[in-house]
Amino acid sequence: MSATERKTDIGPPHYEKFLPEIIKKNYGKWAYHEIPQPGVMVHVAESGDKLYTVRAATPRLMSITSIRLFADLADKYCGGHLRFTSRNNVEFLLTDESKIEPLKKELGKNGFLVGGTGNAISNIVHTQGWVHCHSAATDASGVVKSIMDELHPHFTSMELPGKLRIAFACCLNMCGAVHCSDIAVLGVHTKVPVIDHNELPRVCEVPTLVSSCPTGAIRPATVDGNKSVEIEDAQCMFCGNCYTVCPSVKINNAESDGISIWVGGKVSNARHEPMFSKLAIPYLPNNPPRWPEVVEAVSSLVNVWAKNARKHERMGEWIERIGWPRFFKVTGIPFTKQHIDDFTHAGETFKRSAQLRH
Amino acid sequence: MSEKKKTTPLLDELEKGAWPSFVKEIKKEADRPMVKDLMGVLERSYEEHIGHWKHGGLVGVMGYGGGVIGRYCDLQEEFPEVAEFHTLRVNQPAAWFYTSDALRSLCDVWDKHGSGLTNMHGSTGDIIFLGARTEELEPTFADLTNIGFDLGGSGSDMRTPSCCVGPARCEWACYDTLGACYDTTQHFQDELHRPMFPYKYKFKFAGCPNDCVASVARADMSIIGTWKDEIQVDQKEVQAAAKNGTDIQKEVCSMCPTGCIAWDGKKLKIQDDDCVKCMHCINVMPKALKPGKERGATILVGAKAPIIGGALLSSVFVPFIEMKPPYEEIKELAEAIWEFWGEHGKNRERVGEFIQRVGLGTFLEEIGLEPVPEMIAHPRSNPYIFFEDELEEEEEDE
């Protein structure tokens, strides 16, 4: 191909090309919406036009075979119009109400659950894990599948006190930015990286590696004649930033990598301001293919919250109302030294009053 | 290709259960040698509890520094078909709207050049093509641009902006999120494709304070829709909601963060100058309440995940801005930030971390933004004030 034919910097296609007529006509003129049943929404425009949405879960890792199936379903039921959500759900956009049930049936037949609306658990946003990532402390898709095989009744119904958002990231890089979720499941490394001193001088820049450490635990050192580095073990907090800049500092560890659970974060401004998730369980073992300890821990947190929270109260709002001591009591999760922050702004997390429930 | 690894008992376990199975998805493309080897590598990870992917090298398409993530397997002899298994990030259409034809044309490109496996979508919002050989990158890119698609961002560049469904299907959208997202993406094509920042820079456009794209947690620049005037109230619909079982006192009034709503059983009264636009009352009664008419956005800056200085939420830079094309103020603000951070930011230092290092006061001064009380939760409580500038001025006066 000649250089003149090569197209670059064209950007994404204009979204207007993909909007159905009903949306073009009523763009910015929607009056209200209702959720007549789990996974189905109706948006009513000021003009009186009604747009029906059928939302179904996807596993995020999609084959082109299934994407083509979605395209066929969109042709059959909604004039070829569909979209995806920020939480990896697919949404079919219908104008004919009578086609909702047949579409739901066909999605069900193909294994795609309809739901994720209102006071429900929506799809889990997650990262790549062992399918594709170099720094993963655990798999992503497998843990998510295992958790949702257990929790899917909360996806297909709307009987929870409020919304519950679960997110998964397979290491502290948090490509899924899970740090503001009701329940965050996070892969963790727990051992100091092992350095390949023979390889390091060939593939890494020592100054970049030294400056990558947030606690200053890495120092230049000559080991067995190699210009390499040494790590002050006591200062390492297993973030893995060094491994990202230098593959010879190997942090992945089959025996000691595992999973931590965090609770009470949110991004919405509704009622309470956005909040970070906080540590509930520091470590659970990596136990593929079903990760039973993780599934049990997440289900148990969902159940305790569902039983005790008031209507509309998110996980973090519930915990704030009852206080952290009672959270640990009602969940039965042991409180340990690891729950106490010791990073940059640790002091802000200490309790500095006598306002306690006894 | 490994004959030994044809069975995958651990992965097969994940075909069971009600939730859609990623293993079934992988198997749908398993007639491809590349996908067979992917299954083999993944089964091995499930056996050994460790990943088998190496760091990315310098791979990409001509003239771009971003959009392709290099990926190599560390078991190349055993699984040669995935020795190179690179990712392409394809810039999604705004708010992830597609036609069936557009989806099919994307599938056709990926059918021809890669594994046939995707993510719909990646964490930042791109369409992810998962698994291509180096020699296929340039031909994939050529076919993609021929069907009207382009690559997204990766590395230290402007990452692919994303937005919520906005005015396309939501009555709460306080500005045109799709329009702003598309316009920003097109305007900054050079910044998107050619990494030249200290680290990544993300834009996310949310139409209202519900923030369905998690911009406050994930974007270096979070543009969150809001309004200035009174919440629009339809009293008849409020009464209808009460009749239909909404306990307005308990579910709405007592959960309002500023206690600015009162209900006497007939009429809902809102003290709007106390309202902080949290959306709760509107979320509970979407038929009765709507955001006001004087709409725009709040711009917040600096969110990020933990690596390396700790996680941050974005903080307020511009309390209220009208959102009209061509969105000049947003572009100018972004460029001012890039200029100062670009010059003084360290390698792999996100703008939120940079602001913490140099101080918000200094940062604002450098980018030419006046400090306003909306930017802080509260003023400083320590007395270590830098009076440097004032002292110098006094000396000059003398």
Which residues of chain B are within 8 Å of residue A61 when distances are taken between CB atoms? 22, 25-26, 117-119, 130
Distances in whole angstroms, Cα of residue A67 to Cα of each of A64, A194, B99, B150, B349: 5, 42, 12, 19, 37
A13 with B173: Cβ contact below 8 A: no
- CA dihedral (B162, B167, B172, B175) positive or negative: positive
**Strand A81-84 and strand B68-69: pairing?**
unpaired
- State the pTM of this model: 0.96
B270 within 8 A of B261, measured Cβ to Cβ? yes
Per-chain mean pLDDT for chain B: 95
**Is A7 near chain B, with CB under 8 Å?**
yes
Q: Identify the pLDDT of residue B331.
A: 98
**Is A354 near chain B, with CB under 8 Å?**
no
pLDDT tens digits along B242-252: 999 999 999 99
B-interface mutation test, from A1, A14, A15, most B Cβ less than 10 A away: A15
Calpha distance B168→B164 (Å, rounded): 9
Tell me: pLDDT of B211 over 90.
yes
Tens of pLDDT along chain A (358 residues) come to: 455 579 999 999 999 999 999 999 999 999 999 999 999 999 999 999 999 999 999 999 999 999 999 999 999 999 999 999 999 999 999 999 999 999 999 999 999 999 999 999 999 999 999 999 999 999 999 999 999 999 999 999 999 999 999 999 999 988 877 999 999 999 999 999 999 999 999 999 999 999 999 899 999 999 999 999 999 999 999 999 999 899 999 999 999 999 999 999 999 999 999 999 999 999 999 999 999 999 999 999 999 999 999 999 999 999 999 999 999 999 999 999 999 999 888 888 999 999 999 8
Grouping H, G, I as helix, E, B as strand and the rest as coil, residue B62 is coil
Which residues of chain A are within 8 Å of residue B307 when distances are taken between CB atoms? 172-174, 239-241, 244
* CA-closest candidate to residue A294, choices A305, A275, A280, A308: A280
- Please, how many CA atoms are within 13 Å of residue A91, restricted to the half-sphere of its CB? 25
pLDDT band at B398 (very low <50, low <70, confident <90, very high): very low
In terms of C-beta density within 10 A (0-12 exposed, 13-18 middle, 19 or more buried), how is residue B393 classed? exposed
Which residues of chain A are within 8 Å of residue B94 when distances are taken between CB atoms? 12, 15
A245 with B210: Cβ contact below 8 A: no
- Structure tokens given for A134: 């170099």
Grouping H, G, I as helix, E, B as strand and the rest as coil, residue B46 is helix
A-interface mutation test, from B11, B14, B16, B19, most A Cβ less than 10 A away: B19
ipTM score: 0.96
B35 within 8 A of B117, measured Cβ to Cβ? yes
Terminal-to-terminal C-alpha distance of chain A: 76
Calpha distance A125→A87 (Å, rounded): 5
B98 with A82: Cβ contact below 8 A: yes
**Is A21 near chain B, with CB under 8 Å?**
no
Q: Identify the pLDDT of residue B56.
A: 74
Calpha distance A298→A283 (Å, rounded): 13
Higher-scoring residue by pLDDT: B363, B394: B363
B309 with A269: Cβ contact below 8 A: no
| Nearest CA distance, A70 vs chain B (angstrom) | 8
| Nearest CA distance, B368 vs chain A (angstrom) | 28
- Determine the length of chain B: 398
* CA-closest candidate to residue B141, choices A6, A64, A13, A14: A6
A12 with B182: Cβ contact below 8 A: yes
A271 with B209: Cβ contact below 8 A: no
Which residues of chain A are within 8 Å of residue B126 when distances are taken between CB atoms? none
pLDDT tens digits along B125-144: 999 999 999 999 999 999 99
Q: Identify the pLDDT of residue B386.
A: 84
| Nearest CA distance, A6 vs chain B (angstrom) | 7
| Nearest CA distance, B364 vs chain A (angstrom) | 23
Per-chain mean pLDDT for chain A: 96
Calpha distance B73→B82 (Å, rounded): 6
**Is A174 near chain B, with CB under 8 Å?**
yes
Q: Give the percent of chain B with pLDDT over 70.
A: 96
Distances in whole angstroms, Cα of residue A211 to Cα of each of A93, B54, B285: 50, 22, 52
Q: Identify the pLDDT of residue B126.
A: 98
Tell me: pLDDT of B341 over 80.
yes
**Which positions ≥6 away from A342 have C-beta within 8 Å?**
none
Q: Which of A252-256, B63-67, B145-149, B390-394 has the lowest mean pLDDT?
A: B390-394
Q: Identify the pLDDT of residue A344.
A: 81
**Is A1 near chain B, with CB under 8 Å?**
yes
A67 with B211: Cβ contact below 8 A: no
Which residues of chain B are within 8 Å of residue A294 when distances are taken between CB atoms? none
**Is A81 near chain B, with CB under 8 Å?**
yes
Calpha distance A268→B282 (Å, rounded): 13
A272 with B257: Cβ contact below 8 A: yes
Calpha distance B231→B290 (Å, rounded): 6
Tell me: pLDDT of B124 over 50.
yes
Q: Which of A17-26, B54-63, B359-368 has the lowest mean pLDDT?
A: B54-63
Which residues of chain B are within 8 Å of residue A346 when distances are taken between CB atoms? none
**Is A312 near chain B, with CB under 8 Å?**
yes
Q: Identify the pLDDT of residue A176.
A: 72
Distances in whole angstroms, Cα of residue B230 to Cα of each of A175, B192, B207: 38, 39, 17
Q: Identify the pLDDT of residue B389.
A: 63
Q: Identify the pLDDT of residue A345.
A: 80
The pLDDT of B56-83, averaged and rounded, is 94
Q: Identify the pLDDT of residue A4.
A: 55
The pLDDT of B240-269, averaged and rounded, is 97
Query: 């990315």: which residue's tokens?
Result: B56
